[in-house]
Structure 1
Amino acid sequence: MEGVLTGKTRNPLREHCQQLLQEHRGIVLKVANLYGRGVEDRRDLAQEICAQAWKAFASWDAARPFPTWLYRVALNVAISHARAGGVRTVVAFDELDVEPSTDGEAQRENDDGVRRLYRCIERLGPLDRALMLLYLDERSQREIAEVLGLSETNVATKIGRLKIRIRQQFGA
């Protein structure tokens, strides 16, 4: 009745998607921060990720973990963005807005060592960046393989090589 009175009808699918995106907003923000250039580009990329997640939400199999599916969507959008040189049409999709968290996560990311690590990661190619993001987010090799469409053996090999390359860049 309330929807009829206010002119708005309840959309349980949109509400469910919005709730899950809000619960897992850290994934969207991490990917946007790693692949975006500057504040506005990162905000636009986060919005585009949310828009694509909403468009593809009906394809999510609820028997599978939502974070794995969201990482796959977010990284596909971000890698496409990176390959296109960052030029794309911005999707205006404010109904599924994802606000940054106000917890201590932002403070930890200001640490000099973390900034140096992110600078090293930003120099990597799009797929290697995705690998490191998932690895640093403590995702299992199985989940990384599923998100990126690689074998677990390939994931382990690539992560090992990336660790060596990053250590060399860090000068450690």
Structure 2
Amino acid sequence: MSAEFYQEYIENNRAIIARICRAYTDNEVDFQDYFQEVCLQLWKSKDNFRQQAKLSTWIYRVSLNVCLSLVRKKRQDPKELGPAVENLSVPPRPVEDPQQRQLELLYRQIRQLKEVDRALILLYLEEKSYEEMSQILGISVSNVGVKINRIKEKLKKQLHGKV
């Protein structure tokens, strides 16, 4: 992996990759694995980027696809890591900052959404346009709007009284 590739694709888009990986993992070990796999797949598929969309849009798409694939693979074979690692989970750290506590609660609720809904709400929180969300997820713009409204209502109900 060249330094140029690392800077342009990974370092400049680290926040995007991290947010997506964080939404699909619930512990630090999985987060690191997902992040590393996304970086590897970006590197492997860099020649497939046709520059028909923004680089960040393509990175979102690759990151989401990798995370969704890993979630599905893990669901099909939860013992793939073996019994010693299977239940390994980093206990949540006590959070002093109320804003950080709210953010962690939001991510916990987002992780409970269906896979596609998770992807949509992440893109919404990134303030992506409905058109961009449509391109990334391969669904119609009107479907994006309908789904976003339903997800926001569901999250409001889940978070009511918890924030």
TM bracket, shorter-chain basis: 0.7 to 0.9
**What percentage of aligned pairs have identical amino acids?**
33
For residue 58 of structure 2, the aligned residue among 51, 54, 69 is: 69
Residues 26-50 of structure 1 show CA distances to partners (whole Å, capped at 9, x for unaligned) of 1111111111231111001100000
2:124 paired with 1:141: no
TM-score for both structures, normalised by structure 1: 0.76
Amino acid at match of 1:139: K
2:36 paired with 1:47: yes
Equivalent residue number for residue 126 of structure 1: 115
Counterparts of 2:65 and 2:153, CA distance in 1: 26
Instruction: Go from structure 1 to structure 2 and tell me whether the alpha carbon gap of 1:108 and 1:50 turns closer, same or farther (over 3 Å shift).
Output: farther
> Aligned residue pairs: how many?
144
Amino acid at match of 1:118: Y
TM-score for both structures, normalised by structure 2: 0.79
2:25–2:111 CA contact under 8 A, matched in 1: no
Counterparts of 2:114 and 2:39, CA distance in 1: 23
Following TM superposition, by how much is the alpha carbon of 1:16 offset from its aligned partner in structure 2, in angstroms?
A: 3.5
Larger Rg: 1
Counterparts of 1:66 and 1:109, CA distance in 2: 34
| Unpaired stretches in structure 1, ≥5 consecutive residues | 1-10, 91-106
Following TM superposition, by how much is the alpha carbon of 1:80 offset from its aligned partner in structure 2, in angstroms?
A: 0.9
Amino acid at match of 2:73: A
2:16 paired with 1:27: yes
